[in-house]
Amino acid sequence: MPRKQTRNAQGSGTIRKYNDKLWQGRFTIGRDPGTGKQIQRSVYGKTQAEVREKMTEILASLDKGTYIEPSRLTVGEWLDTWLNDYCVDIKSNTLSTYQTQIEQHLKPAFGAMLLSEVHPHYIQRFYIGLLRNAEHPLSEKSIKNIHGIFHRALKQAVLLRYIAVNPADSVQLPRVQKKDIRPLEKEQVSAFLTAIKGSDYETALTVALFTGVRQGELIGLSWDRVDFKQGTILIDRQMILDRNTHTYMLAPTKTDTTRKIKPAPLVMRTLAQQRTKQMQQRLMAGELWNEGAFAGVGLVFTNAFGAHLCPNTLTHNVRKIGERIGIQGLRFHDLRHTYAVLALLAGDDLKTVSASLGHSTITTTADIYMAYTDDMKNDSSARMEALINGISNL
């Protein structure tokens, strides 16, 4: 007995009973450029009405020229392709982070699924699971980072017409809780400077405190970036540990930007002292002086034998100094926050502070230091009131 077959309303496809459980819709998406034969595809459903609904949607997209044939790529296959072919311009450590997040989180959850089958709710449920995991819950910030990777990979799939829309667009991310910053108070700054007096890291930490440079930028600073005549420092690279080779290397700054800062004269005097100190250390070390892989670079901050400073050593020393002056858990990054707050309190505008810190946007600076900019607004209001009162009394 012949199977029941009906012509679709658009006249471009047919619907028929496929077997005891399924209906099939057949439609033409075009012609093979080599043979000229029609290229036909199928959709399936449990009822004729379900298939007709799918066919109507597909044929409408064919008429509009927006139809995208469902990709047979799995998410795992696409993520591998995306990493190899579309992440060639990102930093080595960033690429390593992408690879880790994909292998640890995205592939186990979505790897075997077809790209075309990824629904926004699946992603939503995945993020909730990461947040509420009983053994190893992830922070809101970590989930946001994973989402950034997945969204970027799926966005490229949309551009290549592997999928019609990005399912990650519709996901609601958990709100990231802002961490309170802990800049040093003025009295603590004074105690900190007293505590580092005469130590091996006095000059490095003084420069960090009064410039706000990141730790990697401080360690990677070289003498050819210091202009004593103009009183400026060029910040265009940082020292990083390559996670793949486990060796230190110089790389672009965190935001891939170059900035020239003009610090307080105290900083330039401190750098002059460091140059003299380094020359003396080099003479004393003699043949033991060894700059290793950075020979010829002329790093500003080195140990007594010419090697670059180790980030972990700096971090450890800052914490120990903090404990000596009664501050528990003092971080190197707190020195950067301290500089920013001191600069704002000294009267620098937000744009100037943002440029000095090397933030990608002024919004980043405003978000971090909102409380302190509000204090400045209150001070400004009080100053204006005093001025008005003075004028009124004339």
Residue by residue, DSSP assigns 48-100 as HHHHHHHHHHHHHHHHHT---PPP--BHHHHHHHHHHHH-TTS-HHHHHHHHH
- Residue 356 buriedness (CB in 10 A; 0-12 / 13-18 / 19+): buried
Predicted confidence (pLDDT) per residue in 288-314, tens digit: 999 999 999 999 999 999 999 999 999
Say which residue the tokens 């034998």 belong to: 305
Do 280 and 152 reside in the same domain of the chain? no
Asked, for residue 242, whether it belongs to a domain, the answer is: yes
Beta strand 5-7 with 13-17: parallel, antiparallel or unpaired? antiparallel
Do 79 and 58 reside in the same domain of the chain? no
CB 45 within 8 A of CB 54: yes
Question: Any bridge partners for residue 227, and if so which?
Answer: 232
Q: Does residue 321 register a pLDDT over 70?
A: yes
**pLDDT value, residue 2:** 46
Do 79 and 59 reside in the same domain of the chain? no
Rounded average pLDDT over 193-220: 96
Asked, for residue 386, whether it belongs to a domain, the answer is: no
Asked, for residue 389, whether it belongs to a domain, the answer is: no
Write out the residue range of the structural domain in which residue 24 sits. 5-64
What is the token pair recorded at 312? 């972990």
CB 120 within 8 A of CB 167: yes
Residue 7 binned pLDDT confidence (cut-offs 50, 70, 90): very low
Q: How many CB atoms lie within 10 A of CB 146?
A: 21
Asked, for residue 390, whether it belongs to a domain, the answer is: no
Predicted confidence (pLDDT) per residue in 76-98, tens digit: 999 999 999 999 888 888 899 99
Distance CA 292, CA 356 (A): 31
Do 145 and 207 reside in the same domain of the chain? no
Q: Does residue 375 register a pLDDT over 80?
A: no
pTM above 0.85, yes or no: no
End residue of a domain, out of 130, 146, 170: 170
Q: Which one has a higher pLDDT value, 113 or 34?
A: 113
Q: Does residue 384 register a pLDDT over 70?
A: no
- Residue 211 buriedness (CB in 10 A; 0-12 / 13-18 / 19+): buried
Asked, for residue 261, whether it belongs to a domain, the answer is: yes
Q: Does residue 354 register a pLDDT over 80?
A: yes
Rounded average pLDDT over 352-377: 83
Residue 386 binned pLDDT confidence (cut-offs 50, 70, 90): low
Asked, for residue 176, whether it belongs to a domain, the answer is: no
Closest CA to 360 of 237, 218, 255, 209: 255
Q: Which one has a higher pLDDT value, 243 or 128?
A: 128
CB 142 within 8 A of CB 127: no
Domain count, the chain: 3
**pLDDT value, residue 383:** 55
Do 119 and 195 reside in the same domain of the chain? no
**pLDDT value, residue 280:** 96
In the chain, the amino acid numbered 326 is: G
Q: Does residue 4 register a pLDDT over 60?
A: no
Do 354 and 208 reside in the same domain of the chain? yes
Do 145 and 291 reside in the same domain of the chain? no
**pLDDT value, residue 167:** 95
Closest CA to 319 of 304, 308, 335: 335
Question: Any bridge partners for residue 15, and if so which?
Answer: 6, 25
Do 293 and 219 reside in the same domain of the chain? yes
**pLDDT value, residue 127:** 96
Do 203 and 333 reside in the same domain of the chain? yes
In the chain, the amino acid numbered 316 is: H
End residue of a domain, out of 170, 198, 214: 170
Do 80 and 32 reside in the same domain of the chain? no
Cα–Cα distances in Å, from 292 out to 12, 205, 296, 301, 307? 71, 23, 9, 14, 7
Predicted confidence (pLDDT) per residue in 129-169, tens digit: 999 988 889 999 999 999 999 999 999 999 988 888 899 99
Asked, for residue 394, whether it belongs to a domain, the answer is: no
Do 45 and 163 reside in the same domain of the chain? no
Do 273 and 371 reside in the same domain of the chain? yes
Q: Does residue 9 register a pLDDT over 50?
A: no
Asked, for residue 179, whether it belongs to a domain, the answer is: no
Say which residue the tokens 């044929």 belong to: 59
Q: Does residue 319 register a pLDDT over 90?
A: yes
Q: Does residue 111 register a pLDDT over 90?
A: yes
State the CATH number of the domain containing residue 98. Answer: 1.10.150.130
With H, G, I as helix, E, B as strand and everything else as coil, classify residue 148: helix
Q: Does residue 286 register a pLDDT over 50?
A: yes
Beta strand 232-235 with 259-261: parallel, antiparallel or unpaired? antiparallel
Cα–chain-centroid distance for residue 16? 52
State the CATH number of the domain containing residue 260. Answer: 1.10.443.10
For the ranges 102-111, 281-290, 332-341, 344-353, the lowest mean pLDDT is seen at 344-353
